[in-house]
A and B are shown apart, each in its own frame.
Chain A
Amino acid sequence: MTEETIFDLLHSAVVDYVVQSDGKASENSIKADAKDEDLSKLEYIGFFTGYRMIERLTREMPRFKDELDTMKFICTDFWSAIYKKQIDNLRTNHLGVYVLQDNAFRFLTKLSNGKQYLDLAPRYVTFTCGVLRGCLANLGIESIVTAEIQTMPSCKFHIQVQRPC
């Protein structure tokens, strides 16, 4: 069994745990359906993971020129460090919005290659949103990260950089 498999299985166990413990808490009030599950805990776990990981990954890196340079680092080195592949497409409007597209996102490749299970897919990308936010935060970039899934296993991460007014 490879090291990736262990990470995959641990990740799905964490997702399962968070979803279940939240399900129990909200059961008393209103039965939350899958669409508006509270995944903030999961995002928070991701945030801490990313925050700490970037510390180790960048210890021998030269300084980044600008924000775009940082994003490029995320798409190549950082993504291959966790997902063993690079981001397939990076787009930006040069106003602080970046879209990172992964055509075969690792946590989704085994789930489906179409619309099946689409309503449950957000569970499996939230952690990664947190990881992205966490590592950007440690590099001095405050941001909001959301994910968009249309057909699995492809996934788009939207990064909105919060600029100080």
Chain B
Amino acid sequence: MTIHNIYIFNKNGNLLYYNEWNRIKQTGMTRDEEAKLMYGMLFSIKSFVNKISPTDPKDGFLYYKTSKYTLHYFETLTGLKFVLNTDNHAQSVRELLQQIYNQVYVEYVVKNPLIDLAQPIESEIFKEKLDTLIKLSPIYFSKSI
């Protein structure tokens, strides 16, 4: 009961993919609106973090945490953004995000010539592989303490 949902944005801020596993509370707005809000916030946090950083920021924004959940953020050099919400006990989510990028996105989206990289992902095999990876991950099963 620990991975809540995932958002994948491209470099222009369009939502490429969204899926949820254990999301109990919904926002009540449409998915599009929610994605825009999410992207806007990420964009602001990113520039805020980079501006306010007293030293060279390097990786920049990594995650934020509330009392109930943690939002993990991973951006590739090409501007692709992966956002994963988990509970606060999740360990090594960064590795998982790397795996999602390397083993699922690159393999089944980039190497699939039928997918337009600017459009939301419709491929069944991508959805399937992502779901398997998430469900096999120890984070998905980790018990809250």
Contacts and interface: CB of A to CB of B under 8 A. Distances in A.
Asked if chains A and B come from one complex, the reply is: yes
A7 to B, nearest CB: 11
A110 B129 CA distance: 11
B108 A110 contact: yes
A110 B112 contact: yes
B113 A112 contact: no
Contacts of A124: 113
B112 A111 contact: yes
Contacts of B128: 113
A140 B77 CA distance: 51
Contacts of A16: 113
Interface in B84-128: 107-108, 111-114, 123-125, 128
Contact of A116 (B111, B113, B125): B125
Interface string A94-116: 00000000000000001111101
B34 to A, nearest CB: 27
A60 to B, nearest CB: 34
A116 B112 contact: no
Given A110-B125, A112-B124, A117 B114 contact: yes
Nearest to B128: A113
Given A110-B107, A110-B108, A15 B113 contact: yes
A21 interface: no
A72 B124 CA distance: 35
Contact of A5 (B111, B113, B125): B111
Most buried by A among B107, B112, B128: B112
A110 B111 contact: yes
A2 to B, nearest CB: 11
B107 to A, nearest CB: 6
Contacts of B113: 12-13, 15-16, 111, 124
A82 interface: no
Contact of B124 (A8, A114, A120): A114
A43 B134 CA distance: 40
Interface of A: 5, 8-9, 12-13, 15-16, 110-114, 116-117, 120, 124
Interface of B: 107-108, 111-114, 123-125, 128
12 contacts: A8-B111, A12-B113, A15-B113, A110-B108, A110-B111, A110-B112, A111-B114, A112-B123, A112-B124, A112-B125, A114-B124, A117-B114
Given A8-B111, A116-B124, 14 more contacts: A13-B113, A110-B107, A110-B111, A110-B125, A111-B112, A111-B113, A111-B114, A111-B125, A112-B123, A112-B125, A113-B128, A114-B125, A116-B123, A117-B114
